[in-house]
Amino acid sequence: MMIFGDYDVDGVSSVTILVKALRKLGVDLLWRVPVRLCEGYWIRPQAVIDSKEQGIHLIITVDNGIAELEAVDLARTSSMDLIVTDHHYIGHQLPNANALVHPTLGDYGRVEVTNGSSNDWSKKDCKCARSLRSIMAEKRDSCGKSQRKERRSRS
């Protein structure tokens, strides 16, 4: 199983929470957050290909996937299952995922956001999220350096 997030605060938090919860249940999984400078935003077809090569049979997106029709279709035609959990704008077509979790679909209706938050973040959760952000920043920095070197060598 692969949990695929996004590199913003709700994406990183979602990955952290889901990975922690599933690991407590004994689920063996990998997670991935794209490096924006190299991979852009959200799940892309190359991420699906990489996951397939790693032997992944199920991808769960968090905070992305509702508009990534090509990546979802590739997963499905590659005999992979894909569950999309997202809150972003739904485009002209829904992705062909095994399951869609979105606040405007099904019996959930529109989710109302309140000013008062009942989230009880422990110091451990925040430390985990900060650690993930640090790791991703290091990857981003190294990616940026390699891109700069490549651009210089082309000149």
- Alpha carbons 52 and 54: distance in angstroms, whole number: 5
**pTM, rounded to two decimals:** 0.69
Q: How many structural domains compose the chain?
A: 1
Residue 117 included in any domain? no
Q: What is the pLDDT, as a whole number, of residue 119?
A: 39
Residues near 27 by Cβ (< 8 Å), separated by ≥ 6? 1
What are the CB-based long-range contacts (under 8 Å, 24+) for 43-49?
Answer: 43/4, 43/68, 43/71, 43/72, 44/68, 44/71, 45/70, 45/71, 45/74, 47/4, 47/71, 48/74, 48/75, 48/78, 48/80, 49/74
Range of the domain at 139: 2-112+123-154
Look up the CATH number of the domain holding residue 96.
3.90.1640.30
In a domain, 118, yes or no: no
- The 10s digit of each residue's pLDDT in 105-145 is 765 443 333 333 333 434 444 444 455 555 555 655 666 55
Is residue 55 in some structural domain? yes
Starting from the edge strand earliest in sequence, which strands make up the sheet with 99-101, in order? 30-32, 2-4, 58-62, 81-85, 99-101
Flag whether 130 is in a domain. yes
CB-based contact 136:8 (threshold 8 Å)? no
Question: Could you tell me if residue 60 is inside a domain?
Answer: yes
pLDDT in tens, 13-66: 999 999 999 999 899 999 999 988 888 888 999 999 999 999 999 999 999 999
Q: What's residue 141's pLDDT?
A: 62
